[in-house]
Chains A and B, each alone.
Chain A
Amino acid sequence: MISPIIEVENLVKVYPGGTRAVDGISFTVEPGELLGFLGPNGAGKTTTIRILATLLAATSGTARVAGFDVTTQAADVRRRLGLAMQTPTLDAFATGRENIELIGRMHRVGRAELKRRTDELLELMGLTDVARKLAGTYSGGMRRRLDLACALVHRPRVLILDEPTEGLDPQSRIALWEELERISRDGTTMLLTTHYMEEADRLCNRVAIIDNGRIVVDGTPANLKAGIGADSVTLQLEASGSEDMARLHEEVRGLLAGFESLESVTPEPFGVRLAIRDAGRAIPELMRRLDRNGHDVHVIGLAVGRPSLDDVFVKYTGRRIRTEAADQPLILGW
């Protein structure tokens, strides 16, 4: 039996001042898995990750990485862990190569292996040409890749990434996704946090939706979406004004009464949004019902949407994920 590589049980973190950032989180990650923490800023993702990376002490609960306890066996955990935080942290006055080599040395990678591994990572991350330039001159995407190279230099068994594509342009984001997919295929277990739906959907074997310091649901992206059940069908209707539209909403409700595939009708300013099971098969019947004689419901646009992780998130948390830039806590000295 293969034991999980990350085991977290009933983890709680209460910050001085009383904020319960992590409020009883439990989960396991199997070797080779890629688990995504999906949640809005302030949900407790980063706090959980910092506890796993031995950077922060938990208030209660236990966490084990590769079989070692993060509090009592921190050094053993650190040897097996690669970490890249939300903003790339690099030595701006060191070159790309020097950045990787320093972290490698701190992990006691041997001289010959360090040279080989550094060359390999620079090549892999497309940084060979700029390896001798100061990291302070790198673009955002290059910094991310160099940061990732630093996290991989000692061939960690577990890679923890906090918002790995935050602040990247779409092209760099897709390039980084491909890189992460390749690292995952090579057998490295990964835990990443994100508040981008498509990122979680595309990369992760398993997604845990985390909100207010708790995991509200977890499963494969496909299962989570299947749990939503219905597809969403949006109908745009022709109306002469908002009162007319309100009348049309009622007409549609009447016309669709008894339609067995229908789960709900939501009025919208432009028409209606319907939740319909197996929309592909049900649409002909839907159109027949709306086209009944003696009514003036004119459909001028129709869109069918498969459930997305967005819908999953809304279902379990009751709201949409915020997509604005990460809120940074204000640090005040005196």
Chain B
Amino acid sequence: MIGDFFYEAWYLSLRTLRRFFRVPANWIGIIFFPLIQLFVFSQLFKDIIQLPGFRSSGSGSYLAYLAPGQIAFTAFFAVAWSGSAILVEYRNGYMDKLRATPIFRVSILVGELAPLFIESAIMAGGILLLSVLLGATIKTGLIGAALILVLSGLFGMAWAGTSFVPALLTKSEQATGTLSLVFFPIAFMSTAFVPPALMPGWLQTVNSWNPITFLIEAIRPLMVSGYDWAAIGKALIAIAVLGLVLQSATLWAFRRLTA
């Protein structure tokens, strides 16, 4: 029974990955914006690193400070419109074709969601690699890099709910990228660009609840100093809570759509 579910989800996931990687526009589009931010902002605000608040982050350059945030941006872009694929297949009848086979209905949803872990992780890996090429470092080496990819992948998979829920509820492609865009204000308020010490008090309070800040603050030490297991633990909890809320809503919306 559970074996059947994994069998179905595995082959449906492989199909989703194939669909993603066979279209170069997919990964170019995801990498493009974070790369521009990384490249331009690191030049534009080069000297901001001199400000006292940056010292405690341990980053040697503004590029090094900026890189973890851009990794989070990449994980976001990898899933920002992820709900549209399932909607297209709902519309064109492919979902019916799958539903007419003797599989668990939820396998179809898992086959769309699980691959987003791989997609977000690999795309985040691309930006990580590019930031190293531009001069950033990864103090913790390959194991740390792998941890960064896992965190990014998990975050991507969790955040995908912001695209799936409106997509499945409204059945409108236009809606798939609306809710997910709340990432922008949350990310701009996070520690992606400026450390908390330089923020006004209310923003510091916001950031003690900001999931994107937790993600970034777990990645940053892995790049500039060493393993900060407390930060990694906090990030995992933040992602788990986010994922639980968003994906429960996704599952509910999916069941409602296919009832």
Contact = CB atoms under 8 A, between A and B. Distances in A.
A107 interface: yes
Interface of B is mostly: helix
Interface string B154-182: 00000000000000001111110000000
Interface stretch (A79-87, A186-194, A214-222, A255-263): A79-87
Contacts of B33: none
Interface in A86-144: 87, 89-91, 93-94, 98, 102-103, 105-108, 134
B102 A75 contact: yes
B18 A98 contact: yes
A53 B100 contact: yes
A50 B12 CA distance: 23
Nearest to A153: B101
Contacts of B172: 333-334
B91 to A, nearest CB: 7
Contact of A334 (B11, B96, B170): B170
A103 B22 contact: no
Contact of A85 (B97, B101, B173): B97
B98 A106 contact: yes
Nearest to B97: A89
Interface in B84-108: 91-94, 96-103
Interface string A296-334: 000000000000000000000000000000000001011
Interface residues of A, number: 28
Contacts of B8: 106
Given A333-B170, A333-B174, A334-B172, A83 B22 contact: no
B100 A83 contact: yes
Given A85-B93, A333-B174, A78 B100 contact: yes
Contacts of A105: 7, 11
B15 interface: yes
A315 B85 CA distance: 47
A90 B7 CA distance: 21
Contact of B18 (A81, A87, A94): A94
A282 interface: no
Given A87-B93, A331-B91, A333-B171, A79 B19 contact: no
B23 interface: yes
Contacts of A75: 102
Contacts of B22: 93, 134
Interface string A148-178: 0010000000000000000000000000000
A107 B101 contact: yes
Contacts of A50: 96
Contacts of A87: 92-93
A333 B175 contact: yes
A106 B96 contact: no
A48 to B, nearest CB: 15
A50 B95 CA distance: 13
Contacts of A108: 102
Nearest to A89: B93
Given A93-B19, A94-B19, A106 B103 contact: yes
Given A89-B96, A331-B91, A333-B174, A107 B102 contact: yes
A232 interface: no
A246 interface: no
Nearest to B173: A333
B102 A91 contact: no
A309 B103 CA distance: 40
Nearest to A56: B96
Nearest to A162: B93
Given A102-B15, A333-B171, A333-B172, A91 B94 contact: yes
A48 B212 CA distance: 50
A94 B15 contact: yes
B255 to A, nearest CB: 14
A226 interface: no
A91 B19 CA distance: 9
Nearest to B107: A106
Contacts of B7: 105
Contact of A103 (B18, B23, B97, B174): B97
Q: Of residues A83, A87, A93, which shows the largest number of chain B Cβ atoms within 10 Å of its Cβ?
A: A93
Nearest to B19: A93
A90 B94 contact: yes
Contacts of B99: 54-55
Contacts of B171: 331, 333
B11 A102 contact: yes
A70 B245 CA distance: 34
Nearest to B108: A106
A85 B173 CA distance: 23
22 contacts: A53-B96, A54-B99, A55-B99, A85-B93, A85-B96, A85-B97, A89-B92, A90-B94, A91-B19, A94-B15, A98-B15, A98-B18, A102-B12, A103-B101, A106-B8, A106-B98, A108-B102, A150-B97, A331-B91, A331-B171, A334-B170, A334-B172
Given A55-B100, A93-B19, A106-B101, 10 more contacts: A85-B97, A87-B93, A89-B93, A90-B94, A94-B15, A102-B15, A105-B11, A150-B97, A333-B172, A333-B175
